[in-house]
Amino acid sequence: MVAPKISLSGVTKAFGPKKVLQGIDLDVAVGESMVVIGGSGTGKSVLLKCILGLLQPDGGSIKIDGEETAGINGRGRHRVMRKFGMLFQGGALFDSLRVWENVAFGPIQSDGMLPAQAREVAIAKLGAVGLGPEIGELFPSELSGGMQKRVALARAIAREPEIIFFDEPTTGLDPIMADVINDLIVKCVSDLGATAVSITHDMASARKIGHRIAMLHEGRLIWQGRTAEIDHSGDAHVDQFIHGRAEGPIQMQVRRL
C-alpha cells in the first residue's frame, strides 16, 4: 500500500459562527485525479484553500507526502508550495504582465530561471495548451475567457508541479470550450504524472477529469467513490445533485414565489 499523496483527516474550518468544514477525511493517491463536487457555498473553495495553505484550518491534519502541513509557515510552507500548481476560477492572471511573463512567473521569480530560458519554457507550455507563441506577447485583458483559462493552465503547469488544483475549471465557458479545457486538463495531468484535485459543480467536467469523485454537503463529504460508480451511489443527495433536480433532500434556501 503506497502512502497517499494527500491525506486529510478531521479538517475543520469556521468563519465566525459559520462552520464551513466540519471534519473532512479525504485521501488522494499518487497520480490520481480527485474531483470534489457540491453546490455553491458548501465549502469547496475553502477546502481547496486549506489544502493549498492559503487558509489555515482550525483543526485536523493535512498531510502532503506524509508530511503534516497544517500550521507550517515560512520556509517549510515555501517548500511544500513548490509541489503545487493551481488553476484559479477566474484565471487570476497578472494583468500588468504579458502572457508569456505570466506563464514564466514561477520559473523566473521563485526558481531563479533566466528570463530568456523561462521564455522558451513559457512558449513550450503555451504550445501544450494549444496557443501559439504570438499569444505570448499579448496582455491577459486582450484574450477571450477560454484563452485566459488556457494561459492560466499553462502557468499552473509551468513548474511541472506534483499536485495540481483546479478551481471550477469550466465555469463561465461555453460547452465546447469547456470540453477543450477538460481535455487539456486530462492531457496535462497525465503527461506530468501529477496528482490532481478539482472542485466543480459541472458534472460533465467531473466525469471527464475525475478518477474518483467526492461530494461535499454541509461541510462534510457525504459520499466518495469511483467516477463510474456515481450513478449507483445509493445516496439521495448525490442522485439529486448529478441529475440537477430542484426537488430532493437538498433544500435550497429560497422563498416560494
**Among the listed residues 4, 43, 57, 85, the single contact to other proteins using CB under 8 A:** 85
Residue 49 in the binding site for other proteins (CB under 8 A): yes
Cell for 44? 469547496
How far apart are the C-alpha atoms of 11 and 30, rounded to whole Å?
21
Range in contact with other proteins (rule: CB under 8 A) among 15-23, 86-94, 182-190, 217-225: 86-94
22 backbone dihedrals φ, ψ, rounded to 5°: -120, 55
Burial-class residue 182 by CB neighbours within 10 Å (0-12, 13-18, 19+). Answer: buried
- Which amino acid is present at 63? K
Nearer to other proteins, 88 or 139 (CB): 88
Burial-class residue 70 by CB neighbours within 10 Å (0-12, 13-18, 19+). Answer: middle
Contacts with other proteins: how many residues (CB under 8 A)?
Answer: 24
Pick out residues in 93-122 that bind other proteins (CB under 8 A): 93-96, 105-106, 109-110
Over the window 151 to 190, marking each residue x when it contacts other proteins by CB under 8 A and - when it does not, the resulting string is: ----x---x-------------------------------
Could you tell me which of 100, 93, 158, 102 has the C-alpha nearest to residue 133? 100
Range in contact with other proteins (rule: CB under 8 A) among 35-43, 65-73, 74-82, 183-191: 74-82
Cell for 26? 479525504
Task: Give me the residues that bind other proteins (CB under 8 A), please.
Answer: 49, 52-54, 78, 81-82, 84-86, 88-90, 92-96, 105-106, 109-110, 155, 159
